[in-house]
Amino acid sequence: MVSQYGFKFAIHLITNHFGKIVAKVCETLFRKGPLSLGEIIRSTELTPEQVKNSLLVLVQHNCVQAYVPADQFRGEDGSMATVEYLALFDNIIHRLRFPKFLEIAKHQLDDEVSELLHPAHCFFEASQFNPVKCEKVLDGLLRDENPGAIEAVVRESFHKLLKAHYIERCPAPEPVVSTLIKAESAPRKRGSKMAKKFEAPETIEQRVLEAAVPGEAIRFAVTAYTLGNADREAKSDDSSMVNDGDNSGGIANEGSILWRANFEEFIRHLRHKLLVENERKRLDDGAATILSAILDVTKTVEKKVKIEKSAPLSLDSIFTEVTKTEHGRTMTIDRVRASLVQLGCPQRNFDDSYSIDLKSIVEMARNEEVESIVLKRFGSDAYRIFRLLSKSNCFLETDKIAESALVDKKETPRLLYKLWKDNYLYMEKLVVTAAKQSRFMLWKVNKPLLWEYVLDEMYHAALNLSLRLAFEQEKDEDLLHVPADKLVPADKSSEANALQKRYRRLRDVLFLMGSSLMKLDDALMLFHDF
């Protein structure tokens, strides 16, 4: 469930990018859940034209997904179904990460290929690439070439993005989705030893996205990206959509093959990077090299981003992949086996394969992040107390904490109450009645609840930082339109020096706040996306 400040931060991003009217529509969807066009108009008190245009913008930029509830779908007998619109929180927050996504494509592929991702921030049609746009994208490299040569280069760049799964076919515009929670097929017997592990039911957003995404066979199909009209017949494979034009309101489909940036693949790349760098810092370069090789070869079989364990691989397969890397060519198979033990694989699986526990690596990174916050906010004594409770993962009594953490017994209760008051600890009172009644205070770190609280604080900090950044830009907006020759004046007059000083301050402030927001976003991904 998304926190309060998470919604506020998402609405702030929409306001900055698309304006207040679009943000009002998005806020209504966040506040009231999925709504039809008529319900949105009544809730926002905007005109139908304003709401339709806002929905078109949000759908085009992957911020809203339209769908048809299965209980309201009437089939193909000419009657119309009610289309509802759902705000996609994750996709809105991903708008903050576009510079990171472009940098990944630029680093792995090349500059020209990464430039093609700029229109992929929203939906784009393959046939819309024309020589004029390509000349701008490819700079002056192909200015003297004919349009056919330019189209060939764009075709090749598009193929590279598709092969790397950095772009995908757009989802079905209005999939039919069941909004009912599935019940168990057969009731469990009382006392059964084969009790199922509890799994949280799927949310409406998860079911809608699952129904809308194209099948794997055509999602990244190479035959579906041609720049001409030869592949028009392929579009009907996954276009199970509902005709619109009724009073409930649906957004018409253009009937052409559309593409978008695949956020899931970029987030997977960033998660793998965090896993590797965290093990490099905790262990050594050899363990990081081996983990990187394992993740590279198994990423194609990952069905989702938040996998708990890597796909099993044999020792020979791991060794073969490691020796393909620059830093792994000098490693022996014994060195690889020892590093696998360091990575948490002391024993092989039953089928003689190895699998890395990725969930534990993410949890260690989260623990380190929270511990650093406690150290900066509460001091070294509170840090030792929190670290002790975090590692013990059980209730401890106040005197036991003071003794184990080497903190003064008079200072320990004050620090514990301070951590508890700020929601970093969980407390329970235990009353023991014997010859003399005694009361004990027990303390524990409830990690799931703590991580949700820390994530909400991070959203709050990101919102405040974004607001301050917007304030600084608006305050000195006139400097952004000053010609460059006036910022580096030939004379040394006091007026010119003052202008130059203001410009340097604005430049430093924007750079500092922008880089701080990007670092804060790394922490947001650690607690929400990884």
Residue 321: which CATH number? 1.10.10.10
- Looking up tokens 């200015």, which residue turns up? 143
Single-letter amino acid, residue 452:
E
Q: Give the model's confidence band at 525: pLDDT under 50 very low, under 70 low, under 90 confident, else very high.
A: very high
Q: Does 341 or 200 have the greater pLDDT score?
A: 341
Residue 434 in domain: yes
472 in the same domain as 420: no
486 in the same domain as 430: no
Residue 497 in domain: yes
Residue 290 in domain: yes
Across the chain, mean pLDDT equals: 81
Nearest-CA neighbor of 98 among 112, 117, 83, 78? 117
439 in the same domain as 506: no
- Residue 303: strand pairing partners: none
Q: Output the six-digit token pair for 297.
A: 């070869």
Give the Cα-Cα-Cα angle 96, 100, 106 (nearest 5 degrees): 145
315 in the same domain as 272: yes
Distance (Å, rounded) from C-alpha 213 to C-alpha 285? 38
Instruction: Provide CB contacts within 8 A for 309, sequence distance 6+.
Output: 355, 356, 357, 358, 359
Q: Give the model's confidence band at 243: pLDDT under 50 very low, under 70 low, under 90 confident, else very high.
A: very low
Q: Give the model's confidence band at 25: pLDDT under 50 very low, under 70 low, under 90 confident, else very high.
A: very high
Q: Give the model's confidence band at 26: pLDDT under 50 very low, under 70 low, under 90 confident, else very high.
A: very high
Judged against a pLDDT cut of 70, whether residue 488 lies above it is answered with no
Residue 508 in domain: yes
Q: Output the six-digit token pair for 412.
A: 């320990």
Instruction: Provide CB contacts within 8 A for 454, sequence distance 6+.
Output: 369, 370, 373, 527
9 in the same domain as 39: yes
388 in the same domain as 374: yes
Q: Output the six-digit token pair for 89.
A: 């929180």
Judged against a pLDDT cut of 90, whether residue 350 lies above it is answered with no
User: 69-83, 144-158, 274-288 — which one is most confidently predicted on average?
Assistant: 274-288
pLDDT tens, residue by residue, 407-463? 998 999 999 999 999 999 999 988 877 667 678 889 999 999 999 999 999 999 999
Distance (Å, rounded) from C-alpha 36 to C-alpha 498? 55
Q: Give the model's confidence band at 209: pLDDT under 50 very low, under 70 low, under 90 confident, else very high.
A: confident
Single-letter amino acid, residue 99:
P
Last residue of a domain, one of 88, 118, 153: 88
258-261 vs 176-177, strand pairing mode: unpaired
Last residue of a domain, one of 305, 324, 356: 356
429: domain range?
370-445
Instruction: Provide CB contacts within 8 A for 455, sequence distance 6+.
Output: 3, 6, 524, 527, 528
Number of folded domains that form the chain: 4
Judged against a pLDDT cut of 60, whether residue 222 lies above it is answered with yes
Read off φ and ψ for residue 508, nearest 5 degrees.
-65, -40
Distance (Å, rounded) from C-alpha 137 to C-alpha 117? 10
485 in the same domain as 438: no
- Looking up tokens 């066009």, which residue turns up? 37
pLDDT tens, residue by residue, 36-88? 999 999 999 999 999 999 999 999 899 999 998 887 766 555 556 789 999 99
Q: Does 505 or 454 have the greater pLDDT score?
A: 454
Last residue of a domain, one of 324, 356, 388: 356
Q: Are the C-beta atoms of residues 258 and 513 closer than 8 Å to each other? A: no
- Looking at residue 260, its pLDDT comes to 86
Q: Report the percentage of the chain scoring pLDDT > 90.
A: 48
Q: Does 379 or 345 have the greater pLDDT score?
A: 379
The CA R_g of the chain, rounded to the nearest whole Å, is: 28
462 in the same domain as 522: yes
320 in the same domain as 349: yes
502 in the same domain as 439: no
Q: Does 511 or 236 have the greater pLDDT score?
A: 511
381 in the same domain as 352: no
Residue 216 in domain: no
Q: Output the six-digit token pair for 384.
A: 């030792």
Nearest-CA neighbor of 414 among 406, 402, 404? 402
- Looking at residue 276, its pLDDT comes to 96
430 in the same domain as 475: no
Read off φ and ψ for residue 440, nearest 5 degrees.
-120, 145
